[in-house]
Amino acid sequence: MVIPRPTASTDSPTADDAQRHDPEPIYRQRCDRLAERRAYYARISSRMANISITLVVVAVGALSVGLWRGMPLLLILAALATIGFGISFAYHTVIDRQHHRYDELWTINDEAFRRLRRDWATLPLRQPSSINGDTHYANDLDVLGHASLQHLLNTAHTPTGQTTLQNWLIAPAAPAVIRERQAAVAELAPLLDFRDELAFHGRQMGNAQVNYELFLGWVEGEAWLSQRPWLIWLTRIMPLITIGSALADATNIFN
């Protein structure tokens, strides 16, 4: 998915405002605005759930009575209620996606607020599962680990993003590369809404990538089936037993 790069948002506070003023109220305001949208979609979701339940009850009741009494009008009502349930379910799904979206955006901004306050106890520490090279000095200098630069900066949710940030923090970089990174930071700094969109999509991809890497680890790992010959023989014998049972049942039927 390609996210368009907007200019600085005009309907919400920007990072330039945060530089001129205390940034904490800006993120508090963003959290309040997102919480209102989240509550709005939560209310609609609750109503749609009640409507869906009502339509199911009407459909089942009308179908049962219609078949029992032989009343075509009730059967038509059951069909209409079933169609209405399908429409309600589809709309409810859209509403739930919006509720999830604003809940995630609120979490992103609430985490940013806690990051500004250096609330290490509640700020999640995201680290890649594997660490390249010797990082003892990085821990001593508070570059990695709890209450570190990594703890402060790491908003990545995918293993690739977490590994990239860690490598940038502990590996030396050429001056030209450093200037490119600083220019990218300066360009993204005022785009709070755009950064939230990036973080939102990263959060959605995080679990999928973790599961994918677990699958790759299982595929590339040491073979375990060849070390269990009894399991191989079991897979060969079970189909024969099933076929034999089916033939025995067929013989009994014809006899």
Residues 133 and 171 in one domain: yes
Average pLDDT over residues 165-178: 89
Band (18; pLDDT cuts 50, 70, 90): very low
158 and 139 in one domain?
A: yes
Q: Are residues 183 and 163 located together in one domain of the fold?
A: yes
Identify whether the C-beta of residue 34 lies closer than 8 Å to the C-beta of residue 102: yes
pLDDT value for 204: 84
How far apart (Å, rounded) are the C-alpha atoms in residues 122 and 242?
56
Q: Are residues 80 and 180 in the same domain?
A: no
**pLDDT tens profile 60-86:** 999 999 999 889 999 999 999 999 999
149 with 169: CB under 8 angstroms?
Answer: yes
Q: Looking at 65, 97, 120, which one is the last position of a domain? A: 120
| Full domain range(s) for residue 109 | 12-120
Residue 7 lies in a domain: no
240 inside domain: yes
Residue 132: predicted pLDDT: 62
State whether 214 and 226 are in the same domain: no
Residues 20 and 114 in one domain: yes
For residue range 94-142, what is the model confidence (pLDDT) as tens digits?
A: 999 999 999 999 999 999 999 999 999 999 888 876 666 566 667 667 8
Q: Is residue 4 part of a domain?
A: no
Structural domain contains residue 238:
yes
* Domain assignment present for 236: yes
> How do residues 23-58 score in pLDDT, each as one tens digit?
889 999 999 999 999 999 999 999 999 999 999 999
DSSP state of 12: S
Q: Are residues 134 and 84 in the same domain?
A: no
Q: Is residue 39 part of a domain?
A: yes
Let me know if residue 254 belongs to a domain: yes
Torsion angle, alpha carbons of 51, 54, 58, 64, to 10: 130
The count of domains in the chain is: 3
H/E element, 92: helix 72-116
pTM value is 0.70
Same domain? For 91 and 173 the reply is no
Q: Which residue has the tokens 């089916």?
A: 246
Least confident stretch, 84-98, 188-202, 237-251 = 237-251
Look at residue 165 and tell me whether its pLDDT is greater than 70.
yes
Question: What is the average per-residue pLDDT within 177-191?
Answer: 92
